[in-house]
Structure 1
Amino acid sequence: MLDKFREAKRLEIESLHKDFAAGRIPAAYQGERPSFVEAIRAKGPGAIIAEFKPASPSRGVLGENLNPLDYADTYAANGAAAISVLTEHVYFKGSPDFLFMMNGPGLPLLRKDFIFDPLQVAMTASSPASAVLLIARMCDDAAHLRQLIDIARMPGLAPVVEIFDQADLDRAREAGADIIQVNNRDLDTLTTTLDQGRRFIKQKREGELWICASGVDTRAQVEEMAALGFDAILIGTSLMEADDPGAKLAELTGV
């Protein structure tokens, strides 16, 4: 699955390198970049990162003609600590433009995409994003991941490193990651189990911030993951499929 995602980014990365070679280097965003970590700490443990994604590989199209601005306002009004914004187009129907469109309410934005090239991180820094997702196993090795982490931190982006197994966690730690996102989804079957999060959270270290992603859709599950030690829960599909996303988020956040 990740190989498919990597291939989907090939033309974009080639274009970024051509622009860079021609001297067209994106300037860093000059507006306010609210702290992703502070926002999570303020509402954690169990803070909700509400996700906006028009589609997903496992569920297909989640909604037609969705307005990112409406979702940003709804998420801010119903207790979200931050917003995860899908910017990948082929499989998730996202766009980097969503980062600018969803910046209005002032919540920290996490750019969620398949990012494994330094210039993709530089492009993220030219947006209002406060954090960027880096998938450990999409990097060649720990040195590659560390490079991306270091580049992200320079303009103030929080590097969120996603793991699926023990090898991913070991690589993340070797690379100096301090924000760990445990994905509960099996990439081969696209099924989810919270047992993944329950198992990995036992390895959380002092000073780290941990996020539980995929498979949470009830308040009871949010409370369980928070009690186990997760600082935040990233929730997307259940919000995108809800008839009333605001009411669903209010239920999940307990506001």
Structure 2
Amino acid sequence: MSAQRLCLIVDDEPAAHYVLANYIGQNPKLKLVHQCFNGFEAAEYLRENPVDLMFLDIDMPEMTGLELLKQLDNPPKTILTTAYSEFALESYDFGVIDYLLKPIYHPRFEKAIARLFDMYPKNDPVSDNRSHISVKVDSHFVDIAFDDFLYAQSYGNYVKIFTPQKTWLATITTNELEHNLPSDRFLRVHKSYIVSLGNIESRDRETVTIRGEKIPVGITYRRELSERLR
């Protein structure tokens, strides 16, 4: 993926396009590639043209933003825009990054973009100095410092992230979490577990121990674990 994130605006209001296009143009990490004025145009465009980030209005005639998300098999990362905060709360059911309440102010826009880049791996060329990961918990995002991250466990459609202070139940898949953690500090040791290598206290053939908790090590992960702990 290129250093610049390719952006799509989907909104039925020309004024919203003007504001978002202006803000996108001010951020060197973003590039506006297309603008759509309804959900049907957006669905057609996305079938042939993948983008990294979609700014999507919720309240549009004929097809709402949420209806568009429902019909997309693999929607891009999305920041929802709306004039009505009650709709924004519902949007979290669709795994969006953030929502912007209209009128959209530039500092709030930049905060949402920072949240986007928090989700990329450390080896990403535009985001290689992260000290934490941002994950969605309930209806808001929580920043978890890498230094506090002990291990993670799959839990249905969620992931439990264990820290010394508490356990977070995050709306993210184990695969997504793995790809968004720095590979020099974290390792998948089982289909259901990711561990912080620096917090491993001991290990045997089938487990590692972190804070007294024994974590299983899958057969296919043992060789890489051994190599990483040499």
Please state which band the TM-score falls in when normalised by the shorter chain: 0.3 to 0.5
Larger strand fraction of residues: 2
